[in-house]
Amino acid sequence: SRQSDSFRDWLARSVIFADTLVDRIVSAPIEPIGAVAEPYALWAIRTGGFGEPIRHPAVRMVDHLAPFERLKLHILNLGHTVLADVWMKERRPADETVRTVLGDAAVSKTLAAIYEEEVVPGFTLYEMGDEAQDYVAATWERFRNPSSNIGWPTFIRTTTSSSDAAWPTFWSGCGVANRASPRHA
Please tell me the predicted confidence (pLDDT) of residue 183.
39
Per residue in 17-35, pLDDT tens?
899 999 998 877 888 988 8
More confident residue, 28 or 84: 84
Gap between the Cα atoms of 137 and 152, Å rounded = 21
Per residue in 65-78, pLDDT tens?
999 999 999 999 99
Total-model pTM: 0.75
